[in-house]
């Protein structure tokens, strides 16, 4: 991940600049940080995954791609329930189903265009997330992927590598910008100003880590149950579970276990400064084991760098138009605020890079 650090920092600085510029020019004095967090994470994954750069000044294409992915989320469920529907080619024209499938078509079209550009790169065979899929034999298929399978993998990388990190970053901003939480933001900024700027230095900052972990705890980006089928018998809390038993865990529930996290609904980063083993083992935003998120290192680095860039330079306050209801978690596999917005007042505390 070290080679990606300068690129991530550049995109994080763009995020900070956009937050300030848009809020300063808006008649309301606020900016939708949820959208800009999405643009940041999608810019990172498109560059790291496919070598695609988007212009800083013009975010139209990037925004359309982001909104198409978000609007496609219901099709993940519909494809499982009605697997025959999408192959007909008419799903986007059917009432009720039409809008998410139209978003899916837009997402697919933009992904095809992105892949066409990628395949023209002289260094396409090395250095990008999607590069290994060009030549390697898929262990499940027993052959190389065809173009449609390659496209599906590319779309999966875009979706998994953007919405998860952006939602975490948006909820971190929300948690620290609320009335009554100014001291947390001030304390974090002081630590960031005294610490270094490289990821290796940021990893060592205790309060930064505490703020990120507390965001993971209260706002885990995957709150759905992810079932697994046991391929060998297990005993859990004295209960014998035979082969074939379907088991799952849910981050939203065990992250709020009051026996492990006293006063569980309170956003309190201090709890992590003297954490115990049960707390650490109960925090599972990326899942655990062989099926843990393969992008967790990238996600951590993005959060370290983005939080550093934003809070070193800016002070955030929640917009007067925001309500708690706007930020209720909506489960679309990746969480998103119900209101699809996080309106913030932004002011500069030091000169932006």
Annotated binding site: 293
Contact between 5 and 198 under an 8 Å Cβ cutoff? The reply is yes
What letter does residue 239 receive in the DSSP assignment?
Answer: E
What is the C-alpha separation between 153 and 151, in angstroms, rounded? 5
**Half-sphere CA count of 310, side-chain side, radius 13 A:** 29
Q: How far apart are CA 291 and CA 11, in angstroms?
A: 29
Task: Work out the number of other CB atoms within 10 angstroms of the CB of residue 74.
Answer: 16
Rounded Cα–Cα distance for residues 247 and 244 (Å): 9
The binding site for heme consists of: 293
Angstrom distance (rounded) from CA 11 to CA 13? 5
The residues pairing with 346 across neighbouring beta strands, listed in sequence order, are 316
List own/partner pairs for 52-59 with CB under 8 A and 24 or more apart.
Answer: 52/114, 52/117, 52/118, 56/14, 56/17
Token pair 């046991």 in the structure block, residue: 230
Q: End-to-end alpha-carbon separation of the chain, Å?
A: 22
């Amino acid at each position: 991940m070290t080679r990606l650090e300068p690129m991530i920092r550049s995109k994080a600085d763009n995020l900070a600049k956009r937050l300030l510029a848009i809020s300063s020019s808006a008649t309301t004095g606020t900016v939708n940080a949820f959208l800009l967090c999405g643009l940041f994470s999608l810019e990172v994954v498109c560059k790291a995954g496919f070598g695609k750069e988007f212009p800083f000044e013009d975010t139209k294409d990037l925004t359309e791609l982001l909104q198409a992915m978000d609007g496609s989320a219901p099709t993940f469920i519909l494809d499982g329930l009605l697997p025959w529907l999408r192959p007909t080619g008419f799903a986007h024209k059917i009432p009720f189903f039409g809008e998410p499938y139209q978003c899916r078509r837009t997402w697919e079209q933009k992904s095809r265009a992105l892949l066409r550009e990628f395949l023209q790169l002289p260094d396409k065979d090395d250095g990008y997330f999607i590069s290994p899929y060009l030549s390697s034999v898929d262990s499940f298929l027993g052959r190389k992927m065809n173009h449609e399978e390659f496209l599906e993998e590319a779309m999966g990388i875009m979706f998994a590598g953007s919405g998860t990190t952006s939602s975490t970053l948006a909820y971190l901003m929300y948690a620290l910008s609320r009335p009554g939480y100014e001291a947390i933001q001030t304390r974090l900024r002081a630590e960031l100003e005294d610490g270094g700027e490289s990821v290796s230095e940021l990893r060592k900052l205790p309060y930064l880590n505490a703020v990120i972990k507390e965001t993971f705890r209260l706002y885990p980006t995957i709150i759905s149950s992810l079932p697994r089928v046991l391929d060998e018998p297990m005993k859990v809390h004295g209960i014998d579970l035979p082969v074939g038993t379907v088991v799952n865990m849910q981050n939203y529930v065990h992250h709020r276990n009051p026996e492990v996290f006293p006063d569980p609904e309170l956003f309190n980063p201090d709890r992590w400064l003297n954490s115990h083993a049960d707390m650490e083992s109960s925090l599972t935003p990326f899942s655990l084991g062989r099926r843990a998120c393969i992008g967790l290192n990238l996600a951590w680095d993005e959060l370290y760098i983005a939080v550093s860039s934003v809070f070193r330079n800016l002070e955030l306050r929640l917009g007067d138009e925001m309500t708690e209801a706007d930020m209720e978690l909506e489960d679309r596999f990746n969480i998103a605020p119900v209101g699809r917005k996080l309106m913030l007042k932004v002011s500069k505390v030091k000169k932006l890079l």
